[in-house]
Amino acid sequence: MRGANIALGATGLAAFLALGEAVPRLGLVKEAYFPPTSRIAEAFADELSDSTFWTALGDTLTGWALGLAIAAVAGIAFGVLVSVVPYLREATASTIEFLRPIPSVALIPLAVLLYGTELRSVLLLVVYASFWQVLIQVLYGVQDVDPVADETARSYGLGTWARIRHVLWPTALPYVMTGVRLAAAVALILAITAELIVGAPGLGKRIGVMQASQAVPEMYALIVVTGLLGLLINVGARSVERRALAWHQSVRGEVAV
Amino acid sequence: MHALLDVSGLQKVYEGSGRRVEAVRDLTFTVDTGELVCLVGPSGCGKTTLLKCMGGLLTPTSGEVLLEGRKVNGPPPGMALVFQEYGRSLFPWMRVGENVELPLKQKNMSRTQRRELVRDALESVGLADAAGAYPWQLSGGMQQRVAIARALAYEPQVLLMDEPFAAVDAQTRADLEDLVRGLWRERGITILFVTHDIDEAVYLGERVIVLSASPTVVQEQLKVDLPDERDQLHTRVAPRFAELRTHVYEQIQAAKRGEAEPGSPARSVT
């Protein structure tokens, strides 16, 4: 079953790549703007042997990872704090609902004013966008604490900190994982956007440079790289999730009792 | 000499959304060291409310609970609770051994001491080899055994059990009842066992406290003069057992109708 699915998936991908090869060759679209698959693959291989490409990739990953880490830590810490301290959630709810819908890209001018083309510019946008993804999930997760589990913990004399650690955190963890996975995808989008628009060093900036210098196949090759990055990030996040939540009913599967 | 557990004049009124519900009106009773007391009452009579007040999880509206002469303001260290909902009371993210060990980490105790208590507690509920399993890999009856082991390892002065066997099948229930009696006799612990099952109350208890319908008062206290050695087969068909259970049953029926012993108001006014 699994093998058949993999085979089907591979066939579909091969067909898509073949279509990308055939359509420009048949003259259905302009080859100058839509180079055939083989041409993109060639450019891709060239990129891989270019050290400036690897620097750009490193810059993008640095902005992504650092931004995501800051957003995750801040989102988790703030979410738990808001839920644990009485009245804080009610007091912050309206502010959160106001700030959350602001698209991160609307902050690009601010980022440029503050930090120019530095890494911090990317971080500002990445952190702003990812923070909400994590925070919202943490807030939901913390509400999911089972009253019986919490009463059990209280009756055994577990203090606030011990209950956060042993009851609240494991309950919220599945939500936190989802939040971080979503944030990881958003962070990549914002990192590339910031580089492309602001001109901070990274893959986004390199895409812009390729476009400006009419290196169309190279531009496509870089776009493919960003797609692959997104894919790897999602696969990685899911495997971390499966390991950390082996006990959770969404992961553990059927149990013989 | 104080009673180990002393409940006096306990009242609990829930107020909210324009409704005032007097769940518990006026409860006074004591439990002595080493006793096994069963609290039985009609369903919805505030048994759980009472237990939560005793366990320091709820603050009573008036009256007080004393454990060894000290007023209960929050969960006291000398008390352990076993809940009816074992599946929610055990933590699915911890293995059985970790579940049992967690409360001990709040006490100043060395790792070896903790391990020893966990091993001993699991052994005495017959789950010595289940320490490495997750609770959700066990059957319902086994999960409740784990919850009991967790309470035993905590070494409480009094063990409060809130309808612990209401959610397991009849055969498992009989086994667990014998387990509780066995533990009580071997370890000499003090147990307050809340149930809605009259047979269970009479079979297990040395003394049965019958509660009235809500708003709750003590309807009657009854000494169970069955022999110490009890077993499912013979005790339950003994003439004395039948007499006692009939008596308790009548009391509960009377409580439901609102007829009380003279002097204790049981009419509901909300």
- pLDDT per position as a tens digit, A194-247: 999 999 999 999 999 999 999 999 999 999 999 999 999 999 999 998 888 888
Q: Are B140 and B147 in contact (CB under 8 A)?
A: no
Of B75, B134, B139, the CB nearest to A154: B75
Residue in B126, B191, B160 with CA at minimum distance from that of residue B49: B160
Tell me, what's the pLDDT at B269? 34
Tell me, what's the pLDDT at A1? 64
10 Å CB burial of residue B87 (0-12, 13-18, 19+) is: middle
Query: How far, in Å, CA of A78 to CA of A73, rounded?
Result: 8
Write the DSSP assignment of chain A as a string of letters: -HHHHHHHHHHHHHHHHHHHHHHHHTTSS-TTTS--HHHHHHHHHHHHT-HHHHHHHHHHHHHHHHHHHHHHHHHHHHHHHHHHSTTHHHHHHHHHHHHTTS-GGGGHHHHHHHHTTSHHHHHHHHHHHHHHHHHHHHHHHHHT--HHHHHHHHHTT--HHHHIIIIIHHHHHHHHHHHHHHHHHHHHHHHHHHHHHH--SSHHHHHHHHHHTT-HHHHHHHHHHHHHHHHHHHHHHHHHHHHHTTTSHHHH-----
Task: Tell me chain B's radius of gyration from C-alpha atoms.
Answer: 19
What superfamily in CATH does domain B1-75+193-270 come from?
A: P-loop containing nucleotide triphosphate hydrolases (3.40.50.300)
- pLDDT per position as a tens digit, A112-162: 999 998 999 999 999 999 999 999 999 999 999 999 999 999 999 999 999
Tell me, what's the pLDDT at A254? 60
Calculate how close chain A gets to B103, using CA atoms only, in Å: 6
- pLDDT per position as a tens digit, A10-47: 999 999 999 999 999 998 888 888 999 999 999 999 99
Query: How far, in Å, CA of B201 to CA of B41, rounded?
Result: 10
- pLDDT per position as a tens digit, B10-64: 999 888 777 888 888 889 999 999 999 999 988 778 888 898 999 999 999 999 9
Tell me, what's the pLDDT at B120? 94
Query: Which site among B89, B98, B99, B155 would you substitute to test the A interface, given the most A Cβ atoms closer than 10 Å to its Cβ?
Result: B89
Question: CA of A156: which chain B residue's CA is closest?
Answer: B103
Q: Are A153 and A90 in contact (CB under 8 A)?
A: no
pLDDT at residue A99 is higher than 60: yes
pLDDT tens by residue, chain B, 270 residues: 578 999 999 999 888 777 888 888 889 999 999 999 999 988 778 888 898 999 999 999 999 999 998 999 989 988 999 999 998 999 999 999 999 999 999 888 899 999 999 999 999 999 999 999 999 999 999 999 999 999 999 999 999 999 999 888 889 999 999 999 999 998 889 999 999 899 999 999 999 999 888 788 888 899 998 888 888 888 988 999 999 999 999 988 888 787 654 444 433 333
Q: What residues of A are in the B interface, CB distance below 8 Å? A: 146, 148-149, 151-152, 154-159, 162, 166-167, 170, 173, 247-249, 252, 255, 257
Please indicate whether, in this complex, the C-beta atoms of B137 and A149 are within 8 angstroms of each other: no
Q: What residues of B are in the A interface, CB distance below 8 Å? A: 52, 55-57, 75, 77, 79-81, 83, 85, 88-89, 91-94, 102-103, 105-106, 134, 136-139, 150, 154
Scanning the structure block, which residue is given the tokens 């109708």?
B257
What superfamily in CATH does domain A35-239 come from?
A: MetI-like (1.10.3720.10)
Calculate how close chain B gets to A9, using CA atoms only, in Å: 35
pLDDT at residue A65 is higher than 80: yes
Tell me, what's the pLDDT at A130? 96
Tell me, what's the pLDDT at B182? 92
Tell me, what's the pLDDT at A253? 65
Using an 8 Å CB-CB cutoff, list chain A residues near B89.
Answer: 148-149, 152
Alpha carbon of B270 to those of B13, B95, B147, B171, B267: distances in Å? 10, 45, 36, 40, 10
Please indicate whether, in this complex, the C-beta atoms of B89 and A148 are within 8 angstroms of each other: yes
Query: How far, in Å, CA of B257 to CA of A128, rounded?
Result: 64
Cα-Cα-Cα-Cα torsion B59, B63, B66, B72, nearest 10 degrees, comes to 20
Tokens of A241: 């999730």
* Strand order, beta sheet including B79-82: B70-71, B62-67, B5-16, B19-31, B216-223, B207-211, B36-40, B190-195, B158-162, B79-82
Q: Band the pLDDT of A248: cuts 50, 70, 90.
A: confident
Cβ contacts below 8 Å, chain A against chain B, sum to 63
Residue in B247, B265, B192 with CA at minimum distance from that of residue B7: B192
Scanning the structure block, which residue is given the tokens 């048949």?
A26
Tell me, what's the pLDDT at B167? 86
Please indicate whether, in this complex, the C-beta atoms of A148 and B81 are within 8 angstroms of each other: no
Using an 8 Å CB-CB cutoff, list chain A residues near B146.
Answer: none
Tokens of B185: 């006799």
Please indicate whether, in this complex, the C-beta atoms of B77 and A146 are within 8 angstroms of each other: no
Q: Band the pLDDT of A255: cuts 50, 70, 90.
A: low
Using an 8 Å CB-CB cutoff, list chain A residues near B85.
Answer: 148
User: How distant is the alpha carbon of residue B52 from its chain centre?
Assistant: 11
Using an 8 Å CB-CB cutoff, list chain A residues near B154.
Answer: 156
Using an 8 Å CB-CB cutoff, list chain A residues near B150.
Answer: 156
Tell me, what's the pLDDT at B263? 40
